[in-house]
Chains A and B, each alone.
Chain A
Amino acid sequence: MLARVANNLFWMGRYIERSEHISRYLNVNYFSSLDAPNLMSQDRQFVLRSMLFMVGEPVVDESRKLKEEEVLFRIGLNPEFPFSIINNVKHARENANSARDLISTELYESINKFYHYVLNYPSEVFVKNGLHDFTVNVSEMSAILRGKIRGTLLHDAVYAIIMMGVNIERATQMTRMINSKYHDALCAQGSYGDKFSNSFEWTTLLKCAESYDMMRRFYKKTPTSISTLEFLILNPNCPRSVMNSLNQVFGHIKILDPSKAYNKTSTAFLIGKVRAEYQYKFIEEIEGNIQSFIDDILQSLTEISQKMEKEFFNY
């Protein structure tokens, strides 16, 4: 596989995954806030700020009043805003275009359909009453894409590269969501006798990760800060957990680099090292210092991505 095309496929995976997470975050936060148990979490300003925080545009000025339609447009369909969903989908398709000869017709056709759906979605409908419809469709279409990736591609280097992109992005987006909801839980505490550890925001976080039901099945209790974080960070069986994503990345790098004796400067070595660190961790070690966990894991994921670029994409 060409190094340049590998890079494009890696990013195709990342953009598909990214658009899904952003869109689900919008949906879950918006709709769960409508009947949230405390005033703070119900506050529209609070939710809009959380959305902007998640996409990397935190509003520093506390007194600034945000307009709902503007924020939704910015994150959803604004072609000028680099992190908007529409731009993620555009980039995903652009990257798929350049690797069209390597991926299956079925996968390409689904990406293309996805692109046309997002491109043609009327923004005035989206900001007024289309949020649910749009975000649900984006989530479903990205699930279809993952299905086509898994079900129609040869499970070789092409597949491994795409899946590494998907999983590195998933770990990144999960961490960003945790960061954002952690931030919200801190802000919301005490507003209605709501303690940090029992905050309503943990339920929202689990729903953003499509993991609420399975978390309930696993713990059989109302989510708390510690159980939520343990589930979403360390549980290897939760498909959205950081741990599971790292395991996936570790599995796929072996297709690209099957050498048994690790070269310590290789990507495979770095991935193994990062993975081992979280594999043998107690949640208590993280819970006490969530902010530094978040900074560390984001840093590690960036390093992995950069290393891949150097080793595989930049011959």
Chain B
Amino acid sequence: MGNIENQIFSSYERNPDLFDEIYDQEGTIKPVYQKLFDIYGRHSIQDYVNLNAKAKSSFFNQGITFQVYSEKDTQEKIFPFDLFPRIIDQEEWDIIEKGAIQRSRALNLFLWDVYHDKKIIREGIIPMDLISTSANYLPQMVGVNPPGGIYNHISGTDIIKHNDGKYYVLEDNIRCPSGVSYVICNRTALKRALFGVFNHYQTYSVTNYAENLLDLIETTKPKGVDIPVTVVITPGMYNSAFYEHSYLAKTMGVELVEGRDMFVENDFVYMKTIRGPVKVDIIYRRIDDLFIDPLEFRADSALGIPGLFSVYKKGNVTLANAPGTGVADDKAVYTYMPEIIKYYLGEEPLLNNVHTYHCSRPDELKYVLENIASLVVKPVDEAGGYGISIGNKLSKSEIESVKKQIKDDPRKYVAQPIMSLSVHPTYIDESHSFEQRHVDLRTFTVLGKDREFVLKGGLTRVALQKGNLIVNSSQGGGSKDTWVLKQ
């Protein structure tokens, strides 16, 4: 199969139980990867080691790092980057793109409904307590009309390929989804290291994200504003995603502000510039709901802008995303997504949902407790991969303690069958060879008033530890450049 002279893949161990994205069941390279496989195969592993070191230092010099918090100190780290790209062909991408838009649209309509008439609850499709007990439901948002009618301007949809070869959505992130800057950096890094590979594939560019983002959020400008002033608000340079905040502000050509740069006066928001106050119309906020306004939410927040929410309620400023969107990306609401899509759009969901058991329902709780070894248990309101237990990785005593946690607060947990994330050949530094690692995909969808944009690409995250299924960067995940082919 040509593998014999291919140095790089000669020692690649293929576990037939896993869905490998570049090999089929018989161990043949899939046609779309053939050229890439041949090109990489011409390199020796030593070439590869060198290229890898080069890519690493390039990230360090560019300061593309994130911070890891520990008890003692915070450390600056590079987001590990893998030089073997992932390819998604046009046909598969069409499903992903349409599916991501469908979900974002449905979630937007759902949010409007939840904070206005609550029809979907009154018609008995979603139980009331699912909403009212959600930690991310903001009663302050009831009756508030966000400018342009958009709640979730930016959605990050986490998608996996299961071993049946189909795409499943694992979760929707519609609070402050991050990671888009890495999509662009990964492309840059791969181009710097191995520019030759791009000659053989027609790949969509990913650098058009910022301009589309700005265009689309500006369609949701407040009433009466002609040319809006847009800013990005960040918690500050010590935030783990600060690089991304500054990248987005820079490429959109707008100011990157902190709460202390802003103030509210006579129902408008202003930023403090060297030439005095300037009115701000649109805020792309990268601060969590509860911190945006100490007068309305957490009074101890030093990150927000006092009085911002009252300006928002009057319709004088756009917040992207709107406050209170977290109620819809809750993992318990996730399980109703097929119903939500059907209810608001009258369509069948294009992307599959993973079957989910609600621990709040007694019969399903019973099933979960009895079958915990074959399930993944997740808290409904945590982000970043924290608090997840994977049944077949737990010891007996760990199982008991997870059971206890669930019984103590059933509403807090859902469980899903253990999905087998597809694997992709990934260069592993310790063994100096390619090995199978699990991957997922985060896509970025932007909703405007009357159109939408999906970044053609996305963040392929890799779980670098063998057998690990959790890909979040805070849990030691890496990433890959992701190519969407033009044909």
Interface residues in chain A, defined as those with a beta carbon under 8 Å from any beta carbon in chain B: 1-6, 94, 97-98, 100-102, 105, 108-109, 112-113, 116, 157, 161, 256, 312-313, 315
A113 cross-chain contacts in B, Cβ below 8 A: 61
Known pairs A256-B274, A315-B272. 6 more at Cβ < 8 A? A1-B274, A4-B261, A6-B274, A94-B237, A112-B60, A315-B274
Residue pairs across A and B with Cβ atoms less than 8 A apart, 19 shown, are A1-B273, A2-B261, A2-B273, A2-B274, A3-B273, A3-B274, A4-B272, A5-B255, A97-B63, A100-B63, A101-B245, A105-B62, A108-B63, A109-B61, A112-B61, A116-B60, A116-B61, A157-B274, A312-B274
Shortest distance between the CB of A310 and any CB in chain B (Å): 12
**By the criterion of a CB under 8 Å from any partner CB, how many residues of chain B are at the interface?**
26
- Bound CA–CA A94/B236 (angstroms): 12
Interface centre among A6, A100, A101 (most CB of B within 10 A): A101
Shortest distance between the CB of B251 and any CB in chain A (Å): 9
Shortest distance between the CB of A288 and any CB in chain B (Å): 41
A97 cross-chain contacts in B, Cβ below 8 A: 63, 237, 242, 246
| Given contacts A97-B242, A101-B255, A105-B62, A315 and B250 within 8 Å (CB-CB) | no
- Bound CA–CA A102/B246 (angstroms): 9
Interface centre among A100, A102, A109 (most CB of B within 10 A): A100
- Bound CA–CA A116/B57 (angstroms): 11
| Contact (Cβ within 8 A) A3 B272 | yes
- Bound CA–CA A313/B261 (angstroms): 11
Interface residues in chain B, defined as those with a beta carbon under 8 Å from any beta carbon in chain A: 60-63, 232, 236-237, 242-243, 245-247, 249-250, 255-258, 260-261, 271-274, 276-277
Shortest distance between the CB of B313 and any CB in chain A (Å): 26
Interface centre among A2, A109, A113 (most CB of B within 10 A): A2
Closest A residue to B258 by beta carbon equals A4
A161 cross-chain contacts in B, Cβ below 8 A: 274
Shortest distance between the CB of B309 and any CB in chain A (Å): 22
| Given contacts A97-B237, A97-B242, A100-B246, A2 and B63 within 8 Å (CB-CB) | no
Shortest distance between the CB of B263 and any CB in chain A (Å): 10
| Contact (Cβ within 8 A) B271 A101 | no
Interface centre among A97, A109, A116, A315 (most CB of B within 10 A): A315
Of B60, B250, B272, the contact of A2 (CB 8 Å cutoff): B272
- Bound CA–CA A93/B170 (angstroms): 39
B273 cross-chain contacts in A, Cβ below 8 A: 1-3, 315
- Bound CA–CA A313/B273 (angstroms): 8
- Bound CA–CA A313/B275 (angstroms): 9
| Contact (Cβ within 8 A) A315 B277 | yes
| Contact (Cβ within 8 A) A3 B261 | yes
Closest B residue to A4 by beta carbon equals B261
B276 cross-chain contacts in A, Cβ below 8 A: 315
Of A2, A105, A312, the contact of B255 (CB 8 Å cutoff): A2
Closest B residue to A308 by beta carbon equals B274
- Bound CA–CA A4/B260 (angstroms): 9
| Contact (Cβ within 8 A) B274 A109 | no
Shortest distance between the CB of A249 and any CB in chain B (Å): 16
Closest A residue to B249 by beta carbon equals A101
Main secondary structure of the interface of B (DSSP, over half): mixed
- Bound CA–CA A208/B260 (angstroms): 41
- Bound CA–CA A82/B42 (angstroms): 53
| Contact (Cβ within 8 A) B274 A101 | no
B243 cross-chain contacts in A, Cβ below 8 A: 100
B242 cross-chain contacts in A, Cβ below 8 A: 97
A157 cross-chain contacts in B, Cβ below 8 A: 274
B247 cross-chain contacts in A, Cβ below 8 A: 101
A6 cross-chain contacts in B, Cβ below 8 A: 274
- Bound CA–CA A312/B245 (angstroms): 25
A102 cross-chain contacts in B, Cβ below 8 A: 250, 256
- Bound CA–CA A288/B454 (angstroms): 73
| Contact (Cβ within 8 A) A101 B256 | yes
- Bound CA–CA A313/B260 (angstroms): 13
Interface centre among B62, B261, B274, B276 (most CB of A within 10 A): B274
A100 cross-chain contacts in B, Cβ below 8 A: 63, 243, 246, 250, 256
A312 cross-chain contacts in B, Cβ below 8 A: 274
Closest B residue to A95 by beta carbon equals B237
Shortest distance between the CB of A23 and any CB in chain B (Å): 21
A105 cross-chain contacts in B, Cβ below 8 A: 62, 250
- Bound CA–CA A98/B255 (angstroms): 11
The 9 A-B residue pairs whose C-beta atoms are closest, nearest first, are A101-B249, A100-B246, A101-B250, A315-B272, A101-B256, A112-B63, A101-B246, A312-B274, A3-B272
Of A2, A94, A256, the contact of B271 (CB 8 Å cutoff): A2
A4 cross-chain contacts in B, Cβ below 8 A: 258, 260-261, 272
A5 cross-chain contacts in B, Cβ below 8 A: 255-256, 261
Shortest distance between the CB of A301 and any CB in chain B (Å): 20
Closest B residue to A256 by beta carbon equals B274
B256 cross-chain contacts in A, Cβ below 8 A: 5, 100-102
Shortest distance between the CB of B450 and any CB in chain A (Å): 29
Shortest distance between the CB of A313 and any CB in chain B (Å): 7
Of B236, B249, B257, B274, the contact of A313 (CB 8 Å cutoff): B274
| Contact (Cβ within 8 A) A98 B274 | no
- Bound CA–CA A165/B63 (angstroms): 24
A1 cross-chain contacts in B, Cβ below 8 A: 255, 273-274
Shortest distance between the CB of B99 and any CB in chain A (Å): 33
B261 cross-chain contacts in A, Cβ below 8 A: 2-5
- Bound CA–CA A315/B232 (angstroms): 20
- Bound CA–CA A109/B242 (angstroms): 16
| Contact (Cβ within 8 A) A112 B62 | yes
- Bound CA–CA A236/B299 (angstroms): 55
B232 cross-chain contacts in A, Cβ below 8 A: 101
- Bound CA–CA A98/B63 (angstroms): 12
A108 cross-chain contacts in B, Cβ below 8 A: 62-63
B271 cross-chain contacts in A, Cβ below 8 A: 2
Shortest distance between the CB of A268 and any CB in chain B (Å): 13
B249 cross-chain contacts in A, Cβ below 8 A: 101
- Bound CA–CA A315/B272 (angstroms): 6
- Bound CA–CA A153/B172 (angstroms): 39
- Bound CA–CA A109/B260 (angstroms): 27
- Bound CA–CA A3/B250 (angstroms): 17
- Bound CA–CA A2/B254 (angstroms): 11
A2 cross-chain contacts in B, Cβ below 8 A: 255, 257, 261, 271-274
- Bound CA–CA A108/B261 (angstroms): 22
Closest B residue to A2 by beta carbon equals B261
A101 cross-chain contacts in B, Cβ below 8 A: 232, 245-247, 249-250, 255-256
A3 cross-chain contacts in B, Cβ below 8 A: 261, 272-274
Shortest distance between the CB of B379 and any CB in chain A (Å): 33
- Bound CA–CA A250/B442 (angstroms): 51
| Contact (Cβ within 8 A) B257 A109 | no
